[in-house]
A and B are shown apart, each in its own frame.
Chain A
């Protein structure tokens, strides 16, 4: 197990390394002069001021030096300041990150509760009308753009019925975005769960469990579900990263004050330090989640545990 985890840890470090390289070089990929683009929206910036910014961002240094000083500042927790307002990027991100994490986790909770149970049920009742109904719903669900579903839910439940506030960041505001994100992903989870459980139901060891005369529930839960959990947990980790990605869009529909909404504003404003910080932060969250999933995975699968 230690060897497996060390391998995964090395992979994680590599991911972070590649991300820092990509993020620090991002600004040089911008077609045209990035500094001019950044300040295009602010009036009356003189060429001298632009040159000062260029100097401050170290854009005149050789690339390797830029990278090294970027990592150096990173290690001190310095992600730079925003172009607009000159606020520290790290602080801004950390202020909003919890909101995004809460949204993504609640959505994951909803998605798993619905997706796992429906997927399991469809696999168990495979070929019946129930399976067909559930899977038809699921394919509609995966095809539904979540920004559209979000708007419909928002206007129906918040505007029309007035059950939820239209904007804000309290618990009642969490419900609709979490449901929006949860429902579309529930459909994905249901489809994956169904196919992975069908694979499991076809396994020889399930037949063996039946041949032993175990009660049906024991075959289903102890044998099939236990074995099915391993691929499903792996899938959950990936789902969480999807939720983080989906949150970017959904936050904008509902005005949920998370990092996604801030990131989109940053892109509009061409606020590159903030965009860079956002991408790096996202990468770190993805890496942390995948490490967590690897640990759970190693714990669940005896083939790795031993």
Chain B
């Protein structure tokens, strides 16, 4: 695994590249009947140009909420950004008005989702759904937008795009629809593509195709990708850098090869051990991970101290009392664990 990761991910020195997105101390809250819960708590990261950053965690870890916060798509009126800044091209997205945000969405930042079939409107033609964003953001005429849509469909390898523009979502397969989603999201040359579990709902063979397509688009356009997933196999195949989240907080961050070779957080270790065959792109059982006992605690019943302490086999009294700081364990490799030095490197 170690070798694979190191040879496949020839990452240029991360520091040399321009930062396109900087999330600083982001906290997102949801108002509920029993008061507010903090779904994302003090999240920070920088995204470099052309980089593929993977945010990993089980459901409820806050990875999707982080992406929705960046896109300004938090469910209204319950979800809101409580603290922090999201800097993109010199502006703080957290403070932008709805109108300004709409100009950026789909143009500067775009997003694709897990379920391609439900993510497209069943009663509008694919052509309509492809061109409306182009017309909106690039100011093209209907005809020009159609040409651009066809070009985008070609780029994501949809056969006979002219004919298929008139079709409706139910006439496409899941894999083809996800291609369409990617084409839509890339059609206005975004600097950042956020992909929230883009392959989870697809067959394994289709998964690989979609991932390759995304990588090619990155190479071609230089866009950065934030890849949200719970699947370490997908991470191994795609990511330059990884952030592992647990209960709304970052628990580990580093280059993908380092994380796969020498995980510094017991949670990451558990995620890696849960892979059916290490390094193989396959779905991880989502409900309960074999290697990690118990389930993710509810956000309104978090344990004091380290949030992972009640599921962690390394946990000591200190873990249950004091929250570990997020610190650099090795150069460029950060973690929040009192016992990170106890973890053995993976063979």
Contact = CB atoms under 8 A, between A and B. Distances in A.
Interface of A: 127, 203-205, 207-216, 218, 222-223, 226-227, 229-230, 300-303, 306
B113 A216 contact: no
B106 interface: yes
Contacts of B123: 226-227, 229-230, 300-302
B151 interface: no
A207 B120 CA distance: 9
Contacts of B185: 211
A226 B122 CA distance: 10
B168 interface: yes
28 contacts: A127-B77, A203-B118, A204-B113, A204-B119, A205-B118, A205-B119, A207-B113, A208-B121, A209-B121, A210-B105, A211-B113, A211-B185, A212-B110, A212-B132, A212-B133, A213-B105, A214-B106, A214-B132, A218-B136, A222-B132, A223-B121, A226-B123, A226-B124, A229-B123, A300-B123, A301-B122, A302-B123, A303-B122
A209 B105 CA distance: 10
A218 B135 CA distance: 12
A211 B106 contact: yes
Interface of B: 71, 73, 77, 98, 101-107, 110-111, 113, 115, 118-125, 132-133, 136-137, 167-168, 170-171, 181, 184-185
A204 B122 contact: no
Contacts of B104: 213
A240 B283 CA distance: 50
B121 A227 contact: yes
A213 B118 contact: no
Which 8 interchain pairs have the tightest Cβ spacing? A213-B105, A213-B106, A212-B106, A302-B168, A212-B133, A204-B118, A205-B121, A204-B119
A306 B122 CA distance: 12
Nearest to A215: B102
Given A212-B133, A214-B102, A302 B77 contact: no
A205 B122 contact: yes
B133 A303 contact: no
A207 B71 CA distance: 11
Contacts of B124: 222-223, 226
B174 to A, nearest CB: 13
A213 B120 contact: no
Given A213-B106, A214-B133, A226 B98 contact: no
B294 to A, nearest CB: 30
Nearest to B120: A205
Contacts of B110: 211-212
Given A205-B119, A208-B120, A212-B136, 11 more contacts: A207-B119, A211-B113, A213-B101, A213-B102, A213-B103, A213-B105, A213-B106, A214-B136, A227-B123, A230-B123, A302-B122
